[in-house]
């Protein structure tokens, strides 16, 4: 993400290629799990599973979408971000710390807002909020889309939700200090 925000294609493409290579390697290992191998070839220090592969694929598609956006190819960027969102939607919910740093629904929603596609953005933020209710960045993104659409009723609703979520976050933070 840092390379994208700095508009630095080189490191972004290196990360995409590295992620793809590792994802394909692990995917092949998972496919060949039932094949007997000689000596230590194929021994794994960490057990990867299909969920790991799918989550890596989501992140790879997110990065491909951002790279396409940097190149000015809006349609390709939209396609990659939509595919990431669709794949993430099919992945079972993971409890514990998220493996995917930036939910694809949220990333795609932000991109859609930046590109004036507000109705589509609202749908992506709804998907994000379904998985992570009251997620601050998703609420802010949805609010930005509502403001751009001049939807006063939705703006008021979202501002109230955001204010409540921030107050809860502040209370939790203060209580742990």
58-79 pLDDT, tens digit per residue, is 999 999 999 999 999 999 999 9
Distance CA 57, CA 42 (A): 22
42-56 pLDDT, tens digit per residue, is 445 557 788 889 999
Distances (CA, A) of 116 to 32, 146, 172: 45, 11, 35
pTM score, two decimals?
0.75
Supply the mean pLDDT for the chain.
87
Q: Where are the domains of the chain?
A: 2-102
Going by the DSSP 8-state scheme, the letter that residue 132 receives in this structure is S
Going by the DSSP 8-state scheme, the letter that residue 44 receives in this structure is -
Contact residues for 73 (Cβ-Cβ < 8 A; gap 6+) = none
Q: What does the pLDDT average to over 113-125?
A: 98
Q: Which two tokens stand for residue 70?
A: 């940097």
Contact 147, 116 (CB under 8 A): no
Q: Which residue, among 95, 65, 99, 100, has the nearest Cα to 81 in the 3D structure?
A: 65
2-61 pLDDT, tens digit per residue, is 888 889 899 999 999 999 999 999 988 888 875 444 444 444 555 778 888 999 999 999
Q: pLDDT-based confidence at 101, cuts 50/70/90?
A: confident
Going by the DSSP 8-state scheme, the letter that residue 101 receives in this structure is S
Q: Among all chains, which residue has been given the structure tokens 């599973």?
A: 49
């Amino acid at each position: 993400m840092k390379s994208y925000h700095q508009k630095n294609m080189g490191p972004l493409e290196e990360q995409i290629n590295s992620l793809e290579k590792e994802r394909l390697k692990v995917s092949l290992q998972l496919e060949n799990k039932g094949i007997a191998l000689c000596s230590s070839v194929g021994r794994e220090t960490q057990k990867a599973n299909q969920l790991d592969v799918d989550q890596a694929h989501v992140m790879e598609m997110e990065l491909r979408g951002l790279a396409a956006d940097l190149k000015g190819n809006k349609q390709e960027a939209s396609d990659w971000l939509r595919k990431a969102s669709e794949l993430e939607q099919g992945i079972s919910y993971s409890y514990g710390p998220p493996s995917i740093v930036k939910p694809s629904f949220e990333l795609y929603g932000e991109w859609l807002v930046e590109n004036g596609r507000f109705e589509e953005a609202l749908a992506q933020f709804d998907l994000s909020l379904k998985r992570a209710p009251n997620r601050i960045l998703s609420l802010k993104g949805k609010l930005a889309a509502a403001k751009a659409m001049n939807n006063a009723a939705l703006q008021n609703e979202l501002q109230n939700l955001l204010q409540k979520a921030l107050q809860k976050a502040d209370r939790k933070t203060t209580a742990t200090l």
